[in-house]
Amino acid sequence: MKAFDLAKEKRDVQKSKYNIADGMKQMFDPFERVARAHHVCPCCERPFSAEEEDEFVKKQRVKAASSAEHMKVLAVESSSAESLFLQLDKLRMVYEEYVKIGKETIPLAEKNLNELTEELDQKSQALDDVIITSEPIIYYYVRLDDDMNG
């Protein structure tokens, strides 16, 4: 179960990293448009000189390009973490069924087996008692029949 929890945590972290990177990627284009349209920093609204604006836009484009590559890596890592989590989740369900069988099903079956074995022993003993009690009577009838026919 520890491996399952670790896989779940890793999956969640990878998804979070991907979502953050995706959010950052979605900001680059609007930031560039705001800087070009209003000649200000989109974060603090400080006015840009023409040179600062060009430098800012250039940085945004570089970051957008590197972000796209980074997102591809994160997508692969996220997919891998999700796949491992799903495999362990299926295994967890099998394990839980195994534990249930060990804790509930097998003990109940053993209890039923013991009860049925005890019942069989009682009925076998009763049958043995009937046979032992009936033997002299059967012997008497057989002997009587032999005496009459013989």
Written as six digits, the tokens of 72 are 């591809």
CATH number of 2-107: 1.10.287
- Residue 86: per-residue pLDDT: 94
- Residue 1: per-residue pLDDT: 76
Neighbours of 81 (CB within 10 A): 20
Written as six digits, the tokens of 129 are 């008692």
Neighbours of 4 (CB within 10 A): 16
Residue the block writes with tokens 């448009």: 33
Domain ranges of the chain: 2-107
- Residue 28: per-residue pLDDT: 84
Cα–Cα distance measured from residue 122 to residue 115, given in angstroms and rounded to the nearest whole number:
11
pLDDT single digits (tens) 53-90: 999 999 998 988 888 889 999 999 999 999 999 999 99
pLDDT single digits (tens) 88-100: 999 999 999 999 9
